[in-house]
Amino acid sequence: MIALVPVVVEQCVAPEAPTARTAETFVKLKGAPRDVESLLSAKLPAGWEIKADVTRSNRRSVSIYVGRQAKYRDIGGFIYSAQAKRLEVAVVTNPPICGMDQ
């Protein structure tokens, strides 16, 4: 008999919840190592911190902690610059905030 492993479902928090106000925000990038490096060296706003950086099969993945006080303009500009370089980009929060995937 094969034991089934329960699926872990990550719960999201409501945008109005107190924990949503203290959620950590990350920008995640994926793409060609050369393109990711050129973006990070030219466009990383002050105070942002690279938390994870992995290169496999000529694909670089970077997770950047942007902090709780990051300005929407900085995040939006960074996303635009990443997309202009044809990088995959996502903004995620920890804990996830319900409705943020729209």
Global pTM value: 0.79
In a domain, 38, yes or no: yes
Q: Could you give phi then psi for residue 6, rounded to 5 degrees?
A: -65, 140
Q: Is residue 75 part of a domain?
A: yes
In a domain? residue 102? no
- Reply yes or no on whether the pLDDT at 85 is more than 80: yes
Q: Which domain holds residue 84?
A: 32-94
Structural domain includes residue 71: yes
> Running DSSP on this structure, what letter comes out for residue 33?
H
How many structural domains is the chain composed of?
A: 1
Q: What is the pLDDT of residues 31-82, one digit of tens each?
A: 999 999 999 988 688 889 999 999 999 999 999 999 878 888 999 999 999 9
Q: ∠ CA 15-20-25 to the nearest 5 degrees? A: 110
Q: What is the mean pLDDT of residues 77-98?
A: 92
Q: Could you give the 3-state DSSP secondary structure of residue 34? A: helix
Please report whether residue 66 resides in a domain: yes
- Count the Cβ atoms, other than its own, within 10 Å of residue 56: 7
CB atoms inside a 10 Å sphere around CB 36:
21
Q: Is residue 79 part of a domain?
A: yes
pLDDT at 13: 86
